[in-house]
């Protein structure tokens, strides 16, 4: 679907990339070469957004560690083991008293 606000570009691609685009269109997965390129760019933008979020989370972790807001590995292992045991407990079946 072409947008009224779209710009027309002319690009040069390596033969392998051009073949991949043609295959996507001929398979019916996309309606046009432009649709393939737009979808690829959306994926690229999403990957960049996720990378930015990850970088931010790492920076917060480094800041927390530098400020001493950290937990030791023994504490983390104990917490994980406790959570795992809670999930592994069998659940008792609750009945309503009505037989089926």
Q: pLDDT per position in the chain (100 positions), as tens?
A: 556 789 999 999 999 999 999 999 999 999 999 999 999 999 999 999 999 999 999 999 999 999 999 888 999 899 999 999 888 876 666 666 655 4
Q: In this predicted structure, what is the pLDDT of residue 87? A: 87
- Confidence (pLDDT) at 50: 98
The pLDDT, as a whole number, for residue 89 is 73
How many folded domains does the chain comprise?
A: 1
Question: How far apart, in whole angstroms, are the C-alpha atoms of residue 77 and residue 68?
Answer: 19
In a domain, 22, yes or no: yes
On whether the CB atoms of residues 21 and 13 are closer than 8 A, the answer is: yes
In a domain, 28, yes or no: yes
pTM of the model: 0.62
Cβ partners under 8 Å of residue 36, min gap 6: 21, 24, 25, 30
Q: How much is the CA Rg of the chain, to the nearest whole Å?
A: 26
d(C-alpha 79, C-alpha 5), whole Å: 54
Tell me if 61 is assigned to some domain.
yes
Whole domain around residue 41: which residue ranges? 15-86
- Token digits for 49? 């957004």
């Amino acid at each position: 679907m072409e947008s009224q606000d779209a710009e027309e570009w002319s690009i040069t691609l390596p033969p392998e990339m051009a073949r991949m685009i043609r295959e996507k269109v001929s398979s019916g997965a996309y309606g046009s070469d432009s649709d393939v390129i737009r979808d690829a760019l959306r994926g690229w933008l999403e990957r960049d957004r996720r990378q930015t979020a990850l970088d931010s989370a790492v920076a917060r972790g480094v800041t927390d560690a530098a400020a001493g807001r950290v937990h030791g590995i023994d504490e983390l292992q104990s917490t994980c083991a406790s959570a795992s045991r809670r999930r592994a407990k069998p659940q008792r079946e609750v009945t309503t008293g009505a037989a089926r």
